[in-house]
Chains A and B, each alone.
Chain A
Amino acid sequence: MSRNQQIAKMIGRKSSGHIQSDNQNMIINGAMQVAQRLTQGTTYVDSTTANLFAIDRFYFAGNPTDTMRISRSTDTPGGGFGYSLLMTSKAATTFTGTQYAVVGHRIEAQNLVHVGFGTAAAQPLICSFYIKCSVTGSIPFTIMNHNDTQIFTANCTINNANAWEYKTISVPARTTGTWNGAGVTTRGLKIQWYTGLGPDHSDGGTSTDGGWNTSYDYAVPGHINVCSTNAATLYITGVQLQVGTQATAFQHRTFGEERQSCQRYYQRYSNFANYAGLALGSNWSATNGNCPFFLESAMRAPPGVEYSDLAHFSLGGRYSAGGSGAPTSLHNDGYSGGNNLDLGYARGGGMTTTSIYLLEFVNSTAGVSWLAFNAEI
């Protein structure tokens, strides 16, 4: 018995030679608990542009666009799960050439150092999840590195339509290729379910069920395209990726833990009361100024700024500066880590240089007005 196995036995945890910490799941929000973008009166997001999110940390993208609608469902397999990700196809789309539709999850590179991919010390992985689909057949499942040059493919086979199934997919250790690692805060690895894939990425002949390739083959021939059936549904929850060869029970985390982890990548602040103040700013011109904005926690990278209709915001002068009006833009003028962001604003004019202005929500309908910071990978 190896030392690792001895230790695993002492702590009462199954092991196949790899010690797994209590924080074994590398997936954030695998139980779909956090959906910051869906809690403000919005119940779904359509795939109208690339790299969108509905449920935190689970992106979706496609070409052609607008093939999918992503929402959150309370249909679950039980087992302590409250939610699932629901993909509904918007049409019977035919995928040609390199066209695709995908739902996935990216992991930050520095959180994968212990996996050791690209080195002789690489560890095997196992991915487990619950899935329910209205279409039977094999859905392409992939794992890729940061630049899509290392590609693992597997069949995620739906045996029975509209029934929850538990899947485990074994990923052999990958000792070759370039993988981002220690200290890298950008893309490291992604897992994906293709809901549509054209023949140029599935007929190359190098992909196998459970193997790696470097030829941009993302699926084993014979796969299904869920989005080729109009109104098809695909539910996923309980997603877990861990080191080892044996999947363990899903690691349930508290909502607070998951929310805090998600906020490294996205934070949304909403209006729950009319005239809810956001920040006090100082003008450096008649059209522009800056506010110190305090984030709930540090973000992965200098974030982009998202906002609801700018008519929901007001910039009002204080101390006789006078006048109020909606800003014409909001932006990140400086961020170097921590929770203090320099939020820039612009207004068409009429403001007073060096005067103090209050940035606040004005819309009285709770949930309509929001300001968010986006550092997704």
Chain B
Amino acid sequence: MIEEENNRTYKLYKIRGGAIGGAEVIGENYSFPFDSANTDYIEYQKWIAAGNTPEPADSVGD
């Protein structure tokens, strides 16, 4: 089976309340929510399963 090559790296982002809501793709001006129907999230899960780790989310200012 052909696996699409994923050279992306990720940084998490927070939503209201401080929970992690999704990830930004570093260097691509693109972010996506953690939802099982989102194609980029599916690719992200494969990336995580391969042993990779995203950058942490920025802290939320007071």
Contacts and interface: CB of A to CB of B under 8 A. Distances in A.
A333 B21 contact: yes
| Size bracket of the B interface | 20 to 34
A149 B27 CA distance: 33
Complex A-B, nearest 7 residue pairs according to Cβ-Cβ distance, in ascending order: A304-B32, A301-B37, A287-B61, A286-B61, A50-B4, A331-B31, A302-B35
A4 interface: no
Interface residues of A, number: 50
Given A309-B29, A331-B22, 5 more contacts: A148-B1, A186-B37, A301-B37, A329-B24, A374-B32
A243 to B, nearest CB: 26
Contacts of B38: 301-304, 375
B39 A305 contact: no
Contact of B33 (A302, A309, A353): A302
B48 interface: no
B61 A51 contact: no
Interface in B2-58: 2, 4-8, 13-16, 21-22, 24, 28-33, 35, 37-40, 43, 58
Interface of A is mostly: loop
B6 A50 contact: yes
A330 to B, nearest CB: 7
Given A287-B58, A302-B33, A303-B38, A333 B6 contact: no
Contacts of B13: 329, 331, 344, 346
